[in-house]
Amino acid sequence: MTNKITFAVDAMGGEDSPKKILDGIKLFNKYNKDVYFKIFGNEKVIGNYLNKFIDKNFYEIIHTENHVVDTDSPLSAAKKGKDTSMWLAIESVKNRNSDIVISAGNTGALFVISKLNLKMIENIDKPALSGLWPNKNGMNVVLDLGANIECDEKNLIDFALMGSSLFKSLYSYESPKVALLNVGSEEIKGNDKIKNTYKKLSEIKNNNFEFKGYIEGNKIMDGNVNVIVTDGFTGNIALKTAEGTANFLIKELKNTLTGNILAKISSAINYKNIRKFKNKLDPRLYNGAIFIGLDSPVVKSHGSTDYIGFSHSLNVCKKIVKGDLINKIKENII
């Protein structure tokens, strides 16, 4: 276990768990031998499965039969007690026994239990839910995606600083370019909160990111910026709209290319290009949202993703720890 990064994993959260969680760990472990797993859940189920595929030097199981389910409200999940797999996994990073925690479980419960256990980074008022979003040139970090329905100017500025730190920890070879999501690109557009935030961000002297002004929703994927800041209400709607559009395009493409014999021949000829297009839109490749602003990193895997998506969220965890996210935020925050 020497020199290994340690992940705390809630193995019982999300659809088809714990199997998809364990399959994701198995796939990740195949290519990453520098990560050790503390896995929280039912030891009998987990051990009987993992023992067949992964060397015991790479994991340990912390047994609990209690876990948070998707139908739990955040309050009822917190009241279940301190022996749920989610609570114990978060407590592991709180006690510095793990470097990062990941769960595919109930988002609201994960947010509340994380806030109950973990402190906020100094000078941050609200944590944000940030996610990865593809663009023409690479990846965007987008926040907030739903943790805070209402945000003031201070919150949006904090999101810009935290989002640029996250981007830099994930993609150290690129410079963060920050933009505010707005209804137009002109300075006169938007409400007073957005305008005041624009003014303050324009005045900040910060070498860790470049402020690029406003961005409209139809420009998110152009690749001219890579950190997009908004409130949780707008961000969540934008995310769900993008996910729905991507799923619609993939389904329509599949229907078009399998509709008749000529379409099937055409799809066979263009297989590589079609596969490349589908992969660009595959949400599993961008799985792994981050609760940012807490003094330990917490990653939320999509509850309905499969083991491939969960494995990709483990890749995000590794990049976050290797990129020293928390210290980057502390250095960057005002």
Whether residue 301 is found in the same domain as residue 253: no
Say which amino acid occupies 264.
Answer: K
Residue 98 contacts residue 38 (beta carbons within 8 Å): yes
CATH code at position 13: 3.40.718.10
Does residue 253 share a domain with residue 164?
Answer: yes
Owning domain of residue 164? 131-283
Confidence at 268, pLDDT banded by 50, 70, 90: low
3-state class (DSSP) for residue 82: coil
Residue with tokens 């749920």: 84
96 and 116 both lie in a single domain: yes
Contact 174, 226 (CB under 8 A): yes
Give the pair of three-digit tokens for residue 204. Answer: 């900040």
* Per-residue confidence (pLDDT) for residue 286, from 0 to 100: 83
- 213 vs 192: CA distance, rounded Å: 15
User: What tens digit of pLDDT does each residue of 145-155 get?
Assistant: 988 888 999 99
Structure tokens at 292: 């940012």
Instruction: Give the contacts of 225 (CB within 8 A, at least 6 positions apart).
Output: 140, 177, 178, 179, 212, 215
Establish if 334 belongs to a structural domain.
no
- Can you give the pLDDT at residue 251? 79
Q: What percent of the chain has pLDDT over 90?
A: 59
Model confidence at 260, pLDDT cuts 50, 70, 90, reads low
pLDDT at 130: 94
148 occurs within a structural domain? yes
Cβ atoms within 10 Å, residue 109: 25
Q: Do 212 and 261 contact (CB within 8 A), yes or no? A: no
In the chain, how many domains are there? 2
Same domain, 67 and 17: yes
Structure tokens of 211?
């402020």
Q: pLDDT at residue 262 above 70?
A: no
Residue 314 lies in a domain: yes
* Pair 77, 138 in one domain: no
Q: Are residues 321 and 246 in the same domain?
A: no
Alpha carbons 298 and 306: distance in angstroms, whole number: 20
Tens digits of residue pLDDT in 62-87: 999 999 998 889 899 988 889 999 99
